[in-house]
Chain A
Protein backbone atom coordinates (compact mmCIF):
# COMPACT_ATOMS: atom_id res chain seq x y z
CA UNK A 1 0.00 0.00 0.00
CA UNK A 2 1.40 3.41 -0.99
CA UNK A 3 1.91 6.21 1.51
CA UNK A 4 -1.05 8.04 -0.02
CA UNK A 5 -3.33 5.00 0.18
CA UNK A 6 -2.31 4.42 3.77
CA UNK A 7 -3.03 8.03 4.75
CA UNK A 8 -6.39 7.95 3.02
CA UNK A 9 -7.28 4.64 4.67
CA UNK A 10 -6.49 6.00 8.16
CA UNK A 11 -8.46 9.14 7.46
CA UNK A 12 -11.46 7.21 6.14
CA UNK A 13 -11.51 4.88 9.14
CA UNK A 14 -11.63 7.81 11.54
CA UNK A 15 -13.87 10.31 9.81
CA UNK A 16 -16.29 8.58 7.44
CA UNK A 17 -18.77 7.43 10.10
CA UNK A 18 -19.12 11.03 11.32
CA UNK A 19 -19.32 12.62 7.88
CA UNK A 20 -23.12 12.82 7.68
CA UNK A 21 -23.29 14.50 11.09
CA UNK A 22 -20.61 16.98 10.06
CA UNK A 23 -22.33 17.80 6.80
CA UNK A 24 -25.71 18.15 8.49
CA UNK A 25 -24.30 20.56 11.05
CA UNK A 26 -22.47 22.49 8.35
CA UNK A 27 -25.57 22.74 6.22
CA UNK A 28 -27.45 24.38 9.06
CA UNK A 29 -24.77 27.03 9.28
CA UNK A 30 -24.33 27.78 5.60
CA UNK A 31 -26.50 29.09 2.81
CA UNK A 32 -25.73 26.47 0.17
CA UNK A 33 -24.65 22.84 -0.15
CA UNK A 34 -21.34 23.88 -1.72
CA UNK A 35 -20.59 26.20 1.23
CA UNK A 36 -21.40 23.35 3.59
CA UNK A 37 -19.07 21.05 1.69
CA UNK A 38 -16.32 23.69 1.82
CA UNK A 39 -16.75 24.02 5.57
CA UNK A 40 -16.65 20.25 6.05
CA UNK A 41 -13.54 20.09 3.91
CA UNK A 42 -11.87 22.62 6.21
CA UNK A 43 -12.72 20.33 9.13
CA UNK A 44 -11.45 17.27 7.30
CA UNK A 45 -8.21 19.04 6.46
CA UNK A 46 -7.71 19.84 10.14
CA UNK A 47 -8.58 16.23 11.01
CA UNK A 48 -6.06 14.94 8.52
CA UNK A 49 -3.36 17.26 9.83
CA UNK A 50 -4.17 16.05 13.37
CA UNK A 51 -4.72 12.41 12.50
CA UNK A 52 -2.43 11.06 15.22
CA UNK A 53 -4.30 13.11 17.83
CA UNK A 54 -7.64 12.08 16.36
CA UNK A 55 -6.77 8.40 16.69
CA UNK A 56 -6.30 8.88 20.43
CA UNK A 57 -9.54 10.81 20.99
CA UNK A 58 -12.52 9.01 22.49
CA UNK A 59 -15.21 11.51 21.46
CA UNK A 60 -14.21 11.91 17.83
CA UNK A 61 -17.55 13.22 16.63
CA UNK A 62 -17.62 15.89 19.29
CA UNK A 63 -14.02 16.84 18.48
CA UNK A 64 -14.88 17.12 14.78
CA UNK A 65 -18.00 19.15 15.51
CA UNK A 66 -16.03 21.47 17.76
CA UNK A 67 -13.55 22.03 14.94
CA UNK A 68 -16.47 22.64 12.60
CA UNK A 69 -17.87 25.44 14.77
CA UNK A 70 -14.38 26.95 15.12
CA UNK A 71 -13.91 26.85 11.36
CA UNK A 72 -17.38 28.32 10.86
CA UNK A 73 -16.40 31.33 12.97
CA UNK A 74 -13.02 31.61 11.24
CA UNK A 75 -14.76 31.78 7.91
CA UNK A 76 -17.31 34.33 9.13
CA UNK A 77 -14.50 36.55 10.36
CA UNK A 78 -12.37 36.18 7.29
CA UNK A 79 -14.99 36.54 4.61
CA UNK A 80 -17.33 39.11 6.08
CA UNK A 81 -16.39 41.75 8.56
CA UNK A 82 -18.84 41.68 11.37
CA UNK A 83 -21.15 44.67 11.79
CA UNK A 84 -21.36 43.98 15.50
CA UNK A 85 -18.65 44.17 18.09
CA UNK A 86 -18.21 41.23 20.42
CA UNK A 87 -19.02 43.39 23.39
CA UNK A 88 -22.47 43.22 24.83
CA UNK A 89 -24.75 45.30 22.70
CA UNK A 90 -28.20 46.71 22.80
CA UNK A 91 -31.02 46.42 25.24
CA UNK A 92 -33.51 43.62 25.25
CA UNK A 93 -36.87 44.58 23.88
CA UNK A 94 -39.06 41.54 23.68
CA UNK A 95 -41.74 39.75 25.60
CA UNK A 96 -40.58 36.54 27.27
CA UNK A 97 -43.96 34.92 26.58
CA UNK A 98 -43.42 35.45 22.89
CA UNK A 99 -39.98 33.84 22.96
CA UNK A 100 -41.17 30.91 25.02
CA UNK A 101 -43.86 30.06 22.47
CA UNK A 102 -42.27 27.42 20.23
CA UNK A 103 -45.06 26.99 17.67
CA UNK A 104 -44.65 28.83 14.38
CA UNK A 105 -47.63 29.95 12.34
CA UNK A 106 -47.36 29.63 8.52
CA UNK A 107 -47.43 33.40 8.08
CA UNK A 108 -44.45 33.60 10.41
CA UNK A 109 -42.31 31.24 8.33
CA UNK A 110 -40.75 33.98 6.20
CA UNK A 111 -39.79 35.89 9.33
CA UNK A 112 -38.50 32.64 10.73
CA UNK A 113 -36.10 32.17 7.80
CA UNK A 114 -34.77 35.70 8.23
CA UNK A 115 -34.47 35.00 11.92
CA UNK A 116 -32.32 31.94 11.28
CA UNK A 117 -30.00 34.05 9.14
CA UNK A 118 -29.66 36.53 12.01
CA UNK A 119 -29.00 33.76 14.50
CA UNK A 120 -26.25 32.27 12.33
CA UNK A 121 -24.71 35.73 11.94
CA UNK A 122 -24.82 36.27 15.69
CA UNK A 123 -23.29 32.86 16.39
CA UNK A 124 -20.45 33.83 14.07
CA UNK A 125 -19.60 36.72 16.37
CA UNK A 126 -19.28 34.66 19.54
CA UNK A 127 -16.03 33.50 21.07
CA UNK A 128 -15.08 30.28 19.28
CA UNK A 129 -14.82 28.08 22.35
CA UNK A 130 -18.02 29.46 23.82
CA UNK A 131 -19.89 29.01 20.55
CA UNK A 132 -18.74 25.43 20.11
CA UNK A 133 -19.61 24.58 23.72
CA UNK A 134 -23.07 26.09 23.35
CA UNK A 135 -23.66 24.39 20.00
CA UNK A 136 -22.50 21.00 21.23
CA UNK A 137 -24.93 21.23 24.16
CA UNK A 138 -27.93 23.09 22.76
CA UNK A 139 -27.85 22.03 19.11
CA UNK A 140 -25.92 18.77 18.91
CA UNK A 141 -27.37 17.36 22.12
CA UNK A 142 -24.25 16.53 24.14
CA UNK A 143 -24.94 16.22 27.85
CA UNK A 144 -23.12 18.12 30.58
CA UNK A 145 -21.32 14.91 31.57
CA UNK A 146 -20.14 14.33 28.03
CA UNK A 147 -18.98 17.92 27.73
CA UNK A 148 -17.12 17.56 31.02
CA UNK A 149 -15.25 14.55 29.67
CA UNK A 150 -14.64 16.27 26.37
CA UNK A 151 -13.38 19.58 27.73
CA UNK A 152 -12.04 18.68 31.17
CA UNK A 153 -14.01 21.58 32.60
CA UNK A 154 -16.04 21.27 35.78
CA UNK A 155 -19.79 20.94 35.33
CA UNK A 156 -20.37 24.21 37.16
CA UNK A 157 -18.00 25.99 34.81
CA UNK A 158 -19.75 24.54 31.79
CA UNK A 159 -23.16 25.61 33.12
CA UNK A 160 -21.87 29.09 33.78
CA UNK A 161 -20.37 29.41 30.32
CA UNK A 162 -23.55 28.12 28.69
CA UNK A 163 -25.60 30.69 30.56
CA UNK A 164 -23.18 33.50 29.73
CA UNK A 165 -23.01 32.54 26.07
CA UNK A 166 -26.79 32.24 25.72
CA UNK A 167 -27.09 35.68 27.27
CA UNK A 168 -24.53 37.11 24.88
CA UNK A 169 -26.26 35.50 21.92
CA UNK A 170 -29.57 36.90 23.11
CA UNK A 171 -28.11 40.38 23.47
CA UNK A 172 -26.52 40.18 20.03
CA UNK A 173 -29.88 39.26 18.56
CA UNK A 174 -31.37 42.34 20.19
CA UNK A 175 -28.74 44.64 18.77
CA UNK A 176 -29.72 47.01 16.02
CA UNK A 177 -26.86 46.05 13.73
CA UNK A 178 -28.10 42.51 13.42
CA UNK A 179 -31.61 43.69 12.61
CA UNK A 180 -30.42 45.43 9.48
CA UNK A 181 -31.26 43.55 6.29
CA UNK A 182 -28.39 41.82 4.56
CA UNK A 183 -29.63 42.97 1.16
CA UNK A 184 -31.21 46.31 0.36
CA UNK A 185 -32.97 47.51 -2.77
CA UNK A 186 -30.95 50.10 -4.62
CA UNK A 187 -33.09 50.59 -7.72
CA UNK A 188 -35.99 49.37 -9.84
CA UNK A 189 -39.73 49.72 -9.58
CA UNK A 190 -42.25 47.86 -7.54
Chain B
Protein backbone atom coordinates (compact mmCIF):
# COMPACT_ATOMS: atom_id res chain seq x y z
CA UNK B 1 0.00 0.00 0.00
CA UNK B 2 1.30 3.42 -0.92
CA UNK B 3 -0.18 6.92 -1.04
CA UNK B 4 -0.90 6.76 -4.78
CA UNK B 5 -2.92 3.59 -4.36
CA UNK B 6 -4.69 5.08 -1.38
CA UNK B 7 -5.55 8.22 -3.33
CA UNK B 8 -6.99 6.15 -6.20
CA UNK B 9 -9.38 4.40 -3.81
CA UNK B 10 -10.20 7.14 -1.35
CA UNK B 11 -13.62 7.74 -2.91
CA UNK B 12 -14.58 4.07 -2.69
CA UNK B 13 -13.32 3.99 0.89
CA UNK B 14 -15.30 7.05 1.89
CA UNK B 15 -18.47 6.07 0.05
CA UNK B 16 -18.43 2.63 1.63
CA UNK B 17 -18.20 0.77 -1.68
CA UNK B 18 -14.82 -0.81 -1.02
CA UNK B 19 -14.79 -4.56 -0.22
CA UNK B 20 -14.35 -5.31 3.48
CA UNK B 21 -11.10 -7.14 2.99
CA UNK B 22 -9.41 -4.20 1.30
CA UNK B 23 -10.97 -1.68 3.61
CA UNK B 24 -8.93 -2.67 6.64
CA UNK B 25 -5.71 -2.41 4.67
CA UNK B 26 -6.52 1.11 3.46
CA UNK B 27 -7.67 2.28 6.88
CA UNK B 28 -4.49 0.87 8.35
CA UNK B 29 -2.46 2.96 5.93
CA UNK B 30 -4.45 6.08 6.87
CA UNK B 31 -3.61 5.49 10.52
CA UNK B 32 0.10 5.72 9.91
CA UNK B 33 0.20 8.25 7.04
CA UNK B 34 -0.65 11.85 7.94
CA UNK B 35 -1.13 12.93 4.31
CA UNK B 36 -3.56 10.13 3.47
CA UNK B 37 -5.31 10.57 6.79
CA UNK B 38 -5.95 14.22 5.91
CA UNK B 39 -6.94 13.29 2.34
CA UNK B 40 -9.49 10.84 3.72
CA UNK B 41 -10.92 13.54 5.91
CA UNK B 42 -10.99 15.95 2.95
CA UNK B 43 -12.74 13.43 0.70
CA UNK B 44 -15.30 12.75 3.38
CA UNK B 45 -15.93 16.49 3.54
CA UNK B 46 -16.52 16.82 -0.20
CA UNK B 47 -18.77 13.76 -0.07
CA UNK B 48 -20.92 15.45 2.56
CA UNK B 49 -21.27 18.51 0.32
CA UNK B 50 -22.04 16.30 -2.67
CA UNK B 51 -24.80 14.59 -0.68
CA UNK B 52 -26.57 17.87 0.05
CA UNK B 53 -29.82 18.09 -1.91
CA UNK B 54 -29.80 20.22 -5.05
CA UNK B 55 -32.38 22.97 -4.79
CA UNK B 56 -34.18 24.32 -7.81
CA UNK B 57 -33.84 28.05 -8.50
CA UNK B 58 -36.78 30.28 -7.58
CA UNK B 59 -39.26 30.93 -10.35
CA UNK B 60 -38.24 33.85 -12.52
CA UNK B 61 -34.71 34.04 -11.15
CA UNK B 62 -33.01 33.40 -14.48
CA UNK B 63 -35.01 36.10 -16.23
CA UNK B 64 -34.27 38.52 -13.39
CA UNK B 65 -30.54 37.84 -13.42
CA UNK B 66 -30.34 37.85 -17.21
CA UNK B 67 -31.96 41.26 -17.25
CA UNK B 68 -29.58 42.58 -14.60
CA UNK B 69 -26.37 41.38 -16.17
CA UNK B 70 -27.23 42.20 -19.77
CA UNK B 71 -28.13 45.73 -18.80
CA UNK B 72 -24.70 46.20 -17.26
CA UNK B 73 -22.06 47.82 -19.40
CA UNK B 74 -18.26 47.56 -19.32
CA UNK B 75 -16.60 50.40 -17.43
CA UNK B 76 -15.27 53.23 -19.55
CA UNK B 77 -11.66 54.18 -19.04
CA UNK B 78 -12.15 57.74 -17.85
CA UNK B 79 -12.12 59.12 -14.37
CA UNK B 80 -15.80 60.08 -14.60
CA UNK B 81 -16.80 56.54 -15.39
CA UNK B 82 -15.65 55.09 -12.12
CA UNK B 83 -19.18 55.64 -10.97
CA UNK B 84 -21.63 53.20 -12.42
CA UNK B 85 -24.19 55.95 -12.68
CA UNK B 86 -26.88 53.64 -11.42
CA UNK B 87 -28.49 53.25 -8.05
CA UNK B 88 -29.10 49.62 -7.29
CA UNK B 89 -31.70 47.97 -5.13
CA UNK B 90 -30.47 45.99 -2.12
CA UNK B 91 -30.41 42.49 -3.60
CA UNK B 92 -28.86 43.56 -6.87
CA UNK B 93 -26.28 45.76 -5.22
CA UNK B 94 -25.19 43.06 -2.81
CA UNK B 95 -24.62 40.70 -5.68
CA UNK B 96 -22.26 43.05 -7.45
CA UNK B 97 -20.22 44.46 -4.63
CA UNK B 98 -16.95 43.50 -3.16
CA UNK B 99 -17.16 46.00 -0.36
CA UNK B 100 -20.04 47.96 1.06
CA UNK B 101 -19.40 51.16 2.92
CA UNK B 102 -22.30 52.51 4.91
CA UNK B 103 -21.66 56.22 4.84
CA UNK B 104 -23.45 58.44 7.30
CA UNK B 105 -22.24 61.71 5.80
CA UNK B 106 -23.05 63.91 8.76
CA UNK B 107 -21.44 61.74 11.41
CA UNK B 108 -17.66 61.72 11.34
CA UNK B 109 -16.18 58.27 12.04
CA UNK B 110 -14.37 57.64 15.30
CA UNK B 111 -11.23 56.70 13.40
CA UNK B 112 -11.04 58.89 10.29
CA UNK B 113 -8.74 56.55 8.41
CA UNK B 114 -9.99 53.17 9.51
CA UNK B 115 -9.20 50.16 7.38
CA UNK B 116 -12.59 48.87 6.37
CA UNK B 117 -11.89 46.10 3.92
CA UNK B 118 -9.39 44.27 1.84
CA UNK B 119 -9.35 43.35 -1.82
CA UNK B 120 -6.91 40.91 -3.37
CA UNK B 121 -5.11 42.28 -6.41
CA UNK B 122 -3.20 40.27 -8.97
CA UNK B 123 -0.24 41.00 -11.20
CA UNK B 124 -1.58 38.52 -13.72
CA UNK B 125 -4.79 40.32 -14.53
CA UNK B 126 -6.71 43.48 -13.67
CA UNK B 127 -9.47 42.85 -11.18
CA UNK B 128 -12.52 45.02 -10.87
CA UNK B 129 -13.04 46.23 -7.32
CA UNK B 130 -16.61 47.33 -6.71
CA UNK B 131 -17.14 49.61 -3.76
CA UNK B 132 -20.68 50.55 -2.81
CA UNK B 133 -21.14 53.77 -0.93
CA UNK B 134 -24.49 54.33 0.65
CA UNK B 135 -25.61 57.84 1.47
CA UNK B 136 -28.81 58.84 3.15
CA UNK B 137 -29.61 61.68 0.74
CA UNK B 138 -28.47 62.93 -2.64
CA UNK B 139 -25.09 64.71 -2.57
CA UNK B 140 -24.59 66.84 -5.67
CA UNK B 141 -21.00 67.83 -6.40
CA UNK B 142 -19.34 65.40 -4.03
CA UNK B 143 -15.54 65.34 -4.35
CA UNK B 144 -13.89 61.93 -4.63
CA UNK B 145 -10.20 61.38 -4.20
CA UNK B 146 -8.25 58.16 -4.43
CA UNK B 147 -4.71 57.84 -3.16
CA UNK B 148 -2.75 54.68 -3.89
CA UNK B 149 0.26 53.42 -1.96
CA UNK B 150 2.48 50.45 -2.66
CA UNK B 151 2.59 48.52 -5.90
CA UNK B 152 -0.97 48.80 -7.11
CA UNK B 153 -2.25 50.78 -10.09
CA UNK B 154 -5.62 51.68 -11.50
CA UNK B 155 -5.55 50.13 -14.94
CA UNK B 156 -5.24 52.74 -17.64
CA UNK B 157 -3.70 55.34 -15.34
CA UNK B 158 -0.17 53.98 -15.20
CA UNK B 159 1.83 55.15 -12.23
CA UNK B 160 -0.56 57.92 -11.15
CA UNK B 161 -0.92 57.69 -7.39
CA UNK B 162 -3.78 60.14 -6.97
CA UNK B 163 -7.04 60.53 -8.86
CA UNK B 164 -9.60 63.23 -8.12
CA UNK B 165 -12.95 63.97 -9.59
CA UNK B 166 -16.36 65.35 -8.72
CA UNK B 167 -19.72 63.69 -9.11
CA UNK B 168 -23.31 63.74 -7.97
CA UNK B 169 -24.09 60.95 -5.54
CA UNK B 170 -27.63 59.65 -5.56
CA UNK B 171 -29.48 58.85 -2.37
CA UNK B 172 -29.00 55.14 -1.66
CA UNK B 173 -26.23 52.97 -2.99
CA UNK B 174 -23.70 54.30 -5.49
CA UNK B 175 -21.26 51.89 -7.06
CA UNK B 176 -17.65 52.84 -7.63
CA UNK B 177 -15.82 50.40 -9.91
CA UNK B 178 -12.04 50.43 -10.21
CA UNK B 179 -9.95 48.05 -12.33
CA UNK B 180 -6.89 47.36 -10.17
CA UNK B 181 -3.69 45.58 -11.06
CA UNK B 182 -0.57 44.87 -9.01
CA UNK B 183 2.60 46.39 -10.43
CA UNK B 184 5.05 44.66 -8.12
CA UNK B 185 5.54 42.79 -4.88
CA UNK B 186 3.55 43.27 -1.72
CA UNK B 187 0.31 44.88 -2.87
CA UNK B 188 -0.61 48.20 -1.32
CA UNK B 189 -3.39 50.30 0.10
CA UNK B 190 -6.01 52.67 -1.22
CA UNK B 191 -7.29 55.68 0.65
CA UNK B 192 -10.69 56.85 -0.56
CA UNK B 193 -11.70 60.35 0.47
CA UNK B 194 -15.26 61.54 0.00
CA UNK B 195 -15.92 65.16 0.69
CA UNK B 196 -18.90 67.42 0.52
CA UNK B 197 -19.47 70.89 1.99
CA UNK B 198 -21.13 69.16 4.95
CA UNK B 199 -18.43 66.65 5.83
CA UNK B 200 -15.52 64.50 4.79
CA UNK B 201 -14.81 60.81 5.26
CA UNK B 202 -11.77 58.64 4.68
CA UNK B 203 -11.67 54.90 4.10
CA UNK B 204 -8.62 52.71 3.78
CA UNK B 205 -8.79 49.52 1.76
CA UNK B 206 -5.99 47.01 2.04
CA UNK B 207 -4.88 45.65 -1.33
CA UNK B 208 -2.82 42.50 -0.65
CA UNK B 209 -1.25 40.69 -3.56
CA UNK B 210 -2.95 37.45 -4.48
CA UNK B 211 -0.25 35.19 -5.80
CA UNK B 212 -2.81 32.67 -6.97
CA UNK B 213 -3.75 32.91 -10.61
CA UNK B 214 -7.48 33.08 -11.29
Identify the A interface with B (CB < 8 A): 4, 7-8, 11-12, 15-16, 19-21, 23-25, 27-28, 33-34, 36-42, 44-45, 47-49, 70, 74, 77-78, 81, 91-92, 94, 96-97, 99-103, 112, 115-116, 119-120, 122-123, 127-129, 134-135, 138-139, 141, 159, 162-163, 165-171, 173-174
B31-59 Cβ-contact flags toward A at 8 Å (1 or 0): 10011111111111111111010111110
B113 within 8 A of A: no
Cβ contact within 8 Å between B37 and A169:
no
Cβ contact within 8 Å between A20 and B49:
no
Q: Which of B80-100 contact A (CB under 8 A)?
A: 91-92, 94-96, 98-99
Q: A78-B117, A99-B40 are in contact. Are A40 and B65 (CB under 8 A)?
A: yes
Cβ contact within 8 Å between B120 and A127:
no
Report the Cα distance A33→B58, complex, angstroms.
8
Cβ contact within 8 Å between B66 and A15:
yes
Cβ contact within 8 Å between A100 and B45:
no
Q: A23-B55, A102-B14, A139-B50 are in contact. Are A44 and B7 (CB under 8 A)?
A: no
Cβ contact within 8 Å between A96 and B56:
no
A-B contact pairs, 21 of them (CB 8 A): A4-B71, A19-B57, A19-B61, A28-B52, A28-B54, A34-B94, A38-B95, A40-B61, A42-B96, A45-B69, A45-B96, A49-B74, A101-B16, A102-B47, A122-B45, A138-B11, A141-B50, A163-B3, A165-B42, A166-B40, A170-B39
B118 within 8 A of A: yes
B203 within 8 A of A: no
Cβ contact within 8 Å between B72 and A166:
no
Q: A70-B214, A119-B45 are in contact. Are A92 and B34 (CB under 8 A)?
A: yes
A189 vs chain B, min Cβ distance (A)? 32
B212 within 8 A of A: yes
Q: SS class of chain B's interface: helix, strand, loop or mixed? A: helix
Cβ contact within 8 Å between A44 and B38:
no
Contact of A81 among B23, B98, B118 (CB under 8 A): B118
A29 vs chain B, min Cβ distance (A)? 8
20 more contacts with CB within 8 A, not counting A11-B66, A78-B120, are: A23-B55, A23-B57, A24-B56, A33-B55, A33-B58, A34-B94, A37-B65, A41-B69, A41-B92, A42-B95, A44-B65, A44-B66, A49-B74, A120-B49, A134-B46, A139-B50, A165-B42, A166-B10, A166-B46, A167-B39
Report the Cα distance A153→B86, complex, angstroms.
42
Cβ contact within 8 Å between A166 and B43:
yes
Cβ contact within 8 Å between A115 and B96:
no
B70 within 8 A of A: yes
Q: A96-B27, A99-B41, A138-B43 are in contact. Are A116 and B49 (CB under 8 A)?
A: yes
Cβ contact within 8 Å between A173 and B41:
yes
* In the complex, chain B residues whose CB is within 8 Å of the CB of A77: 118, 120
Nearest to A70 among chain B residues (CB) is B214
* In the complex, chain A residues whose CB is within 8 Å of the CB of B213: 129
